[in-house]
Amino acid sequence: MKNRVQALVGAQWGDEGKGRVVDVLARNVDVIVRYQGGANAGHTVIADGKKHVFHLLPSGMLYPNRVCIIGNGVVIDPAQLKSEVDDLSPPPSEIGSRLVISRGAHIVMPYHKKLDVLSEAARSKNSSPIGTTGRGIGPCYVDKFNRVGIRAEDLASPTVLERKLRLNLEEKNPILERVYGEAPADFDEIYATAVEWGEFIAPYLGDSTFEIDSAIRGGKGVLFEGAQGTLLDVDHGTYPFVTSSSCVSGGCCIGGALGPGRIDRVIGVVKAYCTRVGEGPFPTEDRGDIGERLRRSGAEYGATTGRPRRCGWLDLVALDYSVRVNGLDVIALTKLDVLSGLDEIKVCAAYRLGGDAAGATKIFPNSAEKLARAIPEYRTLPSWKEDISGCRRFDDLPRAARDYVGFIEESSSVKVGLIGVGPDREDTIVRDF
C-alpha cells in the first residue's frame, strides 16, 4: 500500500476541519497518533448525525479496532481526557487495548491553567493579548522545556509525583502570590487529584515510540493528526500570536518519534476561506458583511471556547507558505459548500507590504509586524449559486466551483485530493486521495 505513513496538518490558523478529514482517512488506516498540542484543540467529527468534539483523543477513535496514540509531544489535561473517554461508546473497558498514552507526554496541572488565564489577563491589561484558550498549554510547555514538567508516567508513581509537585509549587506559588496577588496552590489538593488521575491513566500508559515503530514495520497504515495550524506554529507561525507547539508536519517527528524519511505523504487541510480565533494579524479578515456571512454559513464558532471566529477570504500567499514549510503533497479542501450563493468570490493573490511604491509580493512575511501591515491584493473569481452539499463526485460540482478548486491547485502547485461539501462524514468528494 502506498502512503502507509501520513502526516495531516492544518494549513491555516486552525479549525480547517482536520477532525473530519482524519475521520475519512481513518477508514483505511490502523493507527492514529496525536503528536502535539493539548485540549486547546477541538476537532469535530459528525458521524451518523451525531457530533463528537475531540480535544485530546485522536479523531480516529470512533472506528473500532483502530489503535489511537497520544504521543510524547502532547500535553494532557487528564480530567478532560477522562471525560472524552467516558463519553465514548463502547465503554472504556473495551478501549483499553486501543488507546496508548505515551509515558513521556506532559501533564497540564491546575496551576498551568491558572497561570495561563492570569498571564493572558495581564497581557490584556497591557493591550497585547494573545487570546489563548486558557487551557494551560503555554505554561505546561514552558515547564517541559525548563525540565521541571510532570509527565504521564509520574502520575502513576506517587513518590516521584510528590517530589516533582513540591518542587513546582515552590516556584509557582511565589509567582501566584507576589506577581498576581492570588492564593497559593494547595499541595494536598493537587496531589490527591493527581493520584486519582494516575489511577485513571495507568492502564493506558505505554511506549508510544515502540508502538509506532512496530506498526510501521508491520506494514500498518499510520496517520499523524496535527492540531492547530501552520500559522499558529511556535516557530513558523505569526509569533507571538501562536500556540506553544510545533504544528507543522515536522512536529510529528518529535512528538510522535518518527524518522523524517518514513513519512510517505503530507496532507494539508485547507478551508475554502480563512478563519482565525484569538489575536494576531490576519490580512484577509473581513469585519463587514462578508465576514459575517462566512461566520453564519460556516457556523464559525470555536469548538473549544465557543468564541466567534474571525473570517475572511482565502489567502493564497499564506497557503503557498504553508505548502513550503510543511512540504504538502496533497490538499484536503473543506467547507467549499459555505461559499455557495455568494455574488462573487475573492482570493488574496499577493500582499503589498510597504505601500504602493514597493510593489506586491507573493512571499509570506514570517513576522507579525510585517504581516499586520500587509494589504491583500485580491482576484475576483466567478461564484456559483447552487447548493453543492449533495455532490459526491467532482464532476457533479458547478463549473465555477470546479474552477475555484482548479485555481487553488494551480496557485499552490498541489493537487486537491478531497473536498468537503458539508460537515457530515458522507458530505465528501474523494478525488485522488
Q: Which positions touch Mg ion (CB under 5 A)?
A: 15, 42, 303
Q: What's the closest the beta carbon of residue 262 comes to ligand IMO, in angstroms?
A: 24
Contact 44, 19 (CB under 8 A): yes
d(CA 253, CA 416): 25
d(CA 60, CA 205): 19
With CB under 6 A as the contact rule, the residue among 129, 131, 203, 417 that binds ligand IMO is: 131
Q: Which listed range, 235-243, 320-328, 402-410, 415-423, lies at the site for ligand GDP (CB under 6 A)?
A: 415-423
Contact 310, 302 (CB under 8 A): no
d(CA 315, CA 349): 7
With CB under 6 A as the contact rule, the residue among 42, 139, 237, 278 that binds ligand GDP is: 42
Max CA separation in the chain (angstroms): 66
Is residue 38 involved in binding ligand GDP (CB under 6 A)? no
With CB under 6 A as the contact rule, the residue among 72, 102, 132, 322 that binds ligand IMO is: 132
Q: What amino acid positions are annotated as catalytic residues?
A: 15, 43
Of Mg ion, ligand GDP, ligand IMO, none, which one sits near residue 243, judging by CB under 5 to 8 A according to partner kind?
ligand IMO
Position 51, amino acid = K
Q: Could you check whether the bond before residue 240 is cis, i.e. omega within 30 degrees of 0?
A: yes
Could you tell me how many residues make up the chain?
Answer: 433
Burial of 131 (C-beta count, 10 Å sphere; 0-12/13-18/19+): middle
With CB under 6 A as the contact rule, the residue among 6, 133, 340, 412 that binds ligand IMO is: 133
Q: Is 219 left (phi over 0), alpha (psi -120 to 50) or beta?
A: left
Q: What's the closest the beta carbon of residue 354 comes to ligand IMO, in angstroms?
A: 27
| β-bridge mates for residue 379, sequence order | 347
Of ligand GDP, ligand IMO, Mg ion, none, which one sits near residue 73, judging by CB under 5 to 8 A according to partner kind?
none
Q: What's the closest the beta carbon of residue 13 comes to ligand GDP, in angstroms?
A: 10
* Footprint on this chain of ligand GDP (rule: CB under 6 A): 10, 14-20, 42-44, 46, 299, 303, 334-335, 337-338, 420-423
* Footprint on this chain of ligand IMO (rule: CB under 6 A): 10, 14-15, 40-43, 130-133, 135, 137-138, 227-229, 232, 243-244, 277-278, 303
